[in-house]
Structure 1
Amino acid sequence: MNITEGTEHAETSADTDRAKVVRVVGCPSGGKTTRLLDLVEQHAADGKAPEDMLYLTFTRSGKTEVAERLTTTLDCDEERAEGRASTFHGAACSACYRTGVIDEGEQIIPLGSDTHIAFCEQVGFSYDPDYRDPLIETRDDDTAGDPGSQLFALADWLRYTRNPPEACTKAPSAVPMPAPYNQTVRLLREWDTFKRSAYGRPRFEHADYVDAAIDGGLVPKVDVLFIDEFQDLCPQEYALYDTWIRGRNRVETAYIAGDANQSVYGFRAGTPRYFIGTSRDDEIEQLVSYRCPAEIVSVARGVLEAHPDTDPNGFTAARDGGTVERVRLQTPRELTDRLWSDIITHDPNDDGHRVFLLTRTNKQARSVASALDNCGVPHSYFGRNESNQPWGDGLALVYRGTEAIGREQEIQYKPAEIKRAVQERITASSEIETYDELNALDPTKIVKRLDLYWSERKRLLGALSAPNWCNPNHVSVGTMHSAKGLEAPCVYLFDTMPHSVYESYIDGTNADEEHRVYYVGASRASETLRVVSDYWVGGEPFPPFADGLPAADGEVLHR
């Protein structure tokens, strides 16, 4: 299907009963966020108070970053600036609180809540409350988990697409039905009733309070909206936006910013067609990338040009140069040997990143992370908080302590913290009581005397036997989806797609989105892009990479 098909309000002429809409068309690191902040400053200079404006992002981390920048832009204190930034769903939730639709925090239920657990117990479904968001897991070759997880994933998809339970057969194959059709429809209705009545007052998931804001016509009490990453909107979110810009209570002006080619959330019904086709009165282009040099831009453009429904829109580079290489790495040792040279030769950027290793699926990312563990390369993992990182909870400090003992050197880096980290992990059964008593032992024996999970022990032993050491934040592993919005000097882009994803590509189900996913992956690199082939025996290469790397204007590199 063409991505503009079915677009609501797809005309570009002004409507008489809606806000003024200005579209900001961007590219990777094209400065669209900076442009939006310039517009915030301009409205402030024209007399708008901070409370008259609201800046919306799609992630909490994005909200935090924008709030920090708004402090300078609006010349106000942190608390006041923080109130001017919100997530898209947060704006809907705030409107529900303001109007009394929701009157206490317990009415908001996250995934894995006691409400989910109680319902699954009632209907006899198994359910793991610690399971990740099912829609995230089902976007690739991972399974959707227990029947309870499958049911909640399907319920979310139906809300995002604004469909009734009877439409569950329309869900993509990656969002399976947990039971036969009639039973699934009945359970979906029972789940909705359970949330509304089982606890004496309604309980709301994220999609529920978005629906409540749409149904109630609830609009943020501001004059000007700034909405970033607009290309990620699903049908439900677009209906909320439409509520904000139309009718008697509408805002005065809305700025919508995004890059249609970075719309990669089809698994949760996100689509670029709203950004491409929605009504607007004016347009601003930010199509020069200040991140990607010319050679990397050429490959990113080539990925887009290789599909008829994706368009680079004149995306260009602000500087020449860059390195693009196709490398065939077949074993973990070949991968990490090559990786060490890039860790050493690339300086970290402002966020401390040196190298990203980006895969198509979570399962592949876990495989790469395991290889790094086995070969002693410390690393971080996209999308996890500090306590869940492979080298979190002081493990890097323990490494520095054991390494210093092995080399019979004084600790130069945070000696008190390092000694404390090691001391806390000395097992109660060990005859050693203090850090200093470890000095007589070999580092490997020290590791065996410490209170560690098997995975932590494996990482420490691997790092102690490795030829080098790097800060875990210098190397990050994850999917191309999870790296969206981030950058590193060097990116390893694995070209293998699992068979299930490849088959969907070949039958045309999601081919255009796969091009956008690989475009996002390639455009994370600010200096060097290495496309890794042949690492996994199973799967197929991303089709445009099968005979070489596509580049701008039909050129093919590294056949």
Structure 2
Amino acid sequence: MRKIIKILGKPGTGKTTTLADKMLEKINEGHSFDDIMFITYSRSASRAMYQKLYEKEIERKQLRNFGTIYKLANKTLNLSDENYIGIDDFIKFSNEEGVMFDPSMFNVRKLNEVDEFGLSGDSSAYVEGNILFNWWQYLKCVFVTNDRIEKAIRCFYGLNYNQQKTLSHRSVDHLISLYQLWEDYKKSKRKYEYQDMLQEILLEQIEYVDPFLFAFVDEALDFGSLQIKVLNMWCSDDYAREEYICYDPLQTIYRFTGSNPNVVAGIEADEHIVLGKSFRVPEKPWMVATRLAKYINDDSMDGIKPSDKVGRVVFVDDLLSFLKNNKWDTSISTFFLLRRNEDVRNLMNFMERNRFPVRGIGRTYTIWDIKYFRDVYNLLVCLDRGIVPGREEVRSLVLRLPASLLKRGVKQDFKTRKYKYWGEDGSVKLFEDKFSLFYGLFRGDVGSVHDVKDVIIQPKVKFSNSQRRYLLNTSGRDLLTRDLKWFTGTFHASKGLEAENVFLFDYSLRDDWDLLDETRLSYVGVTRTLDSCFVVGYRDGGGFIEQFI
């Protein structure tokens, strides 16, 4: 008889550590990692577990049954890249059936990212094809079987007013027909979207490919009916002796994909463990998180203590003045979190205009995520400040230049990391300082930071136009970013992560947003901090988060 142990783990209470310790107990009892399945919702949770076990000197190749539920489903069905729906499939089907579809606003999930969708939290674009493809996957997660899905289509289950309005020119029967045609299209090509794998496994009762004895489930709060049913089938009494389920209903922020905290809450457990102290979230941010929980009548924070730090919660009225008036260290981990991808893009433009470097979280990507760009930027800042640039910074510049702009042998020397021309093998006599050595790498008359910029603007130098523009405006007054730990992204993308400082950009609730979802989302944002939480005011006031400070 399988024993089920549920673990309530609030942010920072050590869920990953607890699960890892339980796994190692099984290993010490004589079992192997082949006897263990670790299954989760997101790739970030998988990475956290890999890292935790790596610290215990466990190699990743030992963990054959570890990953997201989609990764393990892929393994069970033995799928490859060719088995996944691509953007061309969406376009082809939409054109054939006369459905408006905007590929620029649609994330395609291929095999190498099937367990890393990095959900943004944006509502589907109000284009009918985009709505339909997302909606049908959502309905699979909630209702599982096609007959129930078709009934849900008839009542527009899960769609908000604007989405229903977009589809209102089509009859219900036509919408059901489109769904059936899309399912037939995928089956004819044996192609899958991510929920299709789980649906097939459940309906065909396909057992997991490798036997195991112990199941460890993280982020169970993000599972919906479909995922839980697959999990229950794989972990039935015939296979698993014990099942550990880790959850926190307040962190359920993917309901728009079918996640449902009530599904996990309904699982009867033989044992219930509550992790009683957060080692991440300080007292003052914890108080805000508790107020958010009480706001939706959730008392699961009761009796759980924050970390020993007091921390800070600060309201910021003017972000630009706040950043300029405080000496910020870019090597201290800092998150800038916003509700929508559109807002993230606006912040990225704001930060670029005001010369504040910031990297991306999840699917957010900035020029600061490119190492060679950061290196060359830091090189220019150093030169303008009279600081010797680092060897790797010099190398990144050298490798972007055509060999014709450098003295003979320099590019090959840096490419192979011999660094003879940087004086590291003793064969080159060092000048009074390394500035002369640096400028001596170039052909022609290069002797100042302005001369280096003249080199960078040459068309054969490998920088994009936006990178080149930014570098040409770089000066010694800019921030050094040698260990850049400033990140921006959505609230959703930050789940499972943490930073010393967290800036939460307040926002006003839209009519088609769910109060429960937005409260949980704010809870996730507040509890990312290890020290300070800064709430950036929404326009002229009236933001949702502000009322809980």
TM-score of the pair, normalised by structure 1? 0.79
> Does 1:123 find its partner at 2:97?
yes
Provide the rounded CA distance (Å) in 1 between the counterparts of 2:18 and 2:338.
31
**Bigger shift: 223-232 or 145-154?**
145-154
Alignment equivalent of 1:477, drawn from 475, 488, 491: 488
Shift of 1:458: 4.8
Give yes or no for contact 2:373–2:467 (8 Å, CA) kept in 1. Answer: yes
Shift of 1:233: 0.6
1:420 maps to a residue whose letter is V
Q: For 2:207, what is the secondary structure of its paired residue?
A: coil
Provide the rounded CA distance (Å) in 2 between the counterparts of 1:122 and 1:466.
56
Shift of 1:137: 7.8
In the TM superposition, 1:363-378 aligns within 5 A as 363-378=342-357
Shift of 1:528: 1.0
In the TM superposition, 1:386-535 aligns within 5 A as 389-392=367-370, 394-407=372-385, 410-423=388-401, 434=442, 437-439=445-447, 441=450, 448-449=457-458, 452-460=463-471, 463-464=474-475, 466-471=477-482, 473-497=484-508, 501-504=509-512, 510-534=514-538
In the TM superposition, 1:118-197 aligns within 5 A as 118-125=92-99, 127=101, 129=103, 131-133=105-107, 139-140=121-122, 144=125, 146-162=127-143, 163-168=148-153, 169-173=156-160, 180-182=170-172, 183-197=174-188
Q: For 1:213, what is the secondary structure of its paired residue?
A: helix
Partner of residue 9, structure 1: none
1:219 maps to a residue whose letter is E
Provide the rounded CA distance (Å) in 2 between the counterparts of 1:335 and 1:503.
31
Provide the rounded CA distance (Å) in 2 between the counterparts of 1:71 and 1:445.
47
> Does 1:79 find its partner at 2:61?
yes
Partner of residue 360, structure 1: 339
Alignment equivalent of 2:329, drawn from 319, 330, 343: 343
Provide the rounded CA distance (Å) in 1 between the counterparts of 2:534 and 2:76.
46
Partner of residue 231, structure 1: 221
Distance 1:26 1:512, change over 3 A: same
> Does 1:20 find its partner at 2:20?
no
Shift of 1:363: 1.5
Provide the rounded CA distance (Å) in 1 between the counterparts of 2:36 and 2:68.
14
Distance 1:77 1:358, change over 3 A: closer
Provide the rounded CA distance (Å) in 2 between the counterparts of 1:318 and 1:367.
34
Q: For 2:356, what is the secondary structure of its paired residue?
A: coil
Provide the rounded CA distance (Å) in 1 between the counterparts of 2:65 and 2:119.
33
Distance 1:185 1:258, change over 3 A: same
Give yes or no for contact 1:381–1:389 (8 Å, CA) kept in 2. Answer: no
In the TM superposition, 1:235-250 aligns within 5 A as 235-246=225-236, 249-250=238-239
Give yes or no for contact 1:304–1:310 (8 Å, CA) kept in 2. Answer: yes
Shift of 1:235: 1.8
Q: For 2:362, what is the secondary structure of its paired residue?
A: coil
User: Deviation digits for residues 387-422 of structure 1, max 9, x if unmatched?
Assistant: x65441521122133334545654234254133255
Partner of residue 108, structure 1: 83
2:229 maps to a residue whose letter is A
Q: For 2:314, what is the secondary structure of its paired residue?
A: strand
Provide the rounded CA distance (Å) in 2 between the counterparts of 1:515 and 1:425.
56
Shift of 1:470: 2.7
Alignment equivalent of 1:222, drawn from 212, 223, 226: 212
Shift of 1:326: 1.5
2:504 maps to a residue whose letter is L
Shift of 1:47: 2.9
Provide the rounded CA distance (Å) in 2 between the counterparts of 1:164 and 1:382.
34
> Does 1:57 find its partner at 2:40?
yes
Provide the rounded CA distance (Å) in 2 between the counterparts of 1:435 and 1:57.
55
Shift of 1:274: 2.1
Give yes or no for contact 2:9–2:275 (8 Å, CA) kept in 1. Answer: yes
2:217 maps to a residue whose letter is I
Alignment equivalent of 1:541, drawn from 540, 543, 549: 543
Q: For 1:529, what is the secondary structure of its paired residue?
A: strand
Partner of residue 413, structure 2: none
Shift of 1:359: 1.3
1:237 maps to a residue whose letter is Q
**What is the root-mean-square deviation of aligned Cα atoms in Å?**
3.2
Shift of 1:132: 4.0
2:516 maps to a residue whose letter is D
> Does 1:41 find its partner at 2:15?
no
Give yes or no for contact 2:252–2:260 (8 Å, CA) kept in 1. Answer: yes
Give yes or no for contact 1:109–1:115 (8 Å, CA) kept in 2. Answer: no
**Bigger shift: 215-224 or 165-174?**
165-174
Provide the rounded CA distance (Å) in 1 between the counterparts of 2:286 and 2:523.
9
Provide the rounded CA distance (Å) in 1 between the counterparts of 2:223 and 2:51.
24
Partner of residue 259, structure 2: 270
User: Deviation digits for residues 253-275 of structure 1, max 9, x if unmatched?
Assistant: 11000211111111112121123
Number of equivalent positions: 491
**Alignment gaps of 5+ in structure 1:** 1-17, 98-103, 349-353, 428-432, 550-559
1:164 maps to a residue whose letter is I
**Bigger shift: 397-406 or 45-54?**
397-406
Shift of 1:39: 0.9
Provide the rounded CA distance (Å) in 1 between the counterparts of 2:49 and 2:216.
11
Shift of 1:437: 4.8
**Bigger shift: 316-325 or 409-418?**
409-418
Give yes or no for contact 2:379–2:390 (8 Å, CA) kept in 1. Answer: no
TM-score of the pair, normalised by structure 2? 0.80
Shift of 1:219: 3.4
Distance 1:172 1:478, change over 3 A: same
Distance 1:137 1:289, change over 3 A: closer
1:167 maps to a residue whose letter is A
Partner of residue 13, structure 1: none
Provide the rounded CA distance (Å) in 1 between the counterparts of 2:479 and 2:258.
44
**Bigger shift: 413-422 or 212-221?**
413-422
Partner of residue 13, structure 2: 30
In the TM superposition, 1:285-300 aligns within 5 A as 285-300=274-289
User: Deviation digits for residues 111-146 of structure 1, max 9, x if unmatched?
Assistant: 52x433332332244545564438988844x65165
Provide the rounded CA distance (Å) in 2 between the counterparts of 1:314 and 1:31.
16
Of all paired residues, the percent bearing the same amino acid is 20
**Alignment gaps of 5+ in structure 2:** 109-116, 406-440
Distance 1:439 1:208, change over 3 A: same
Alignment equivalent of 1:95, drawn from 55, 59, 76: 76
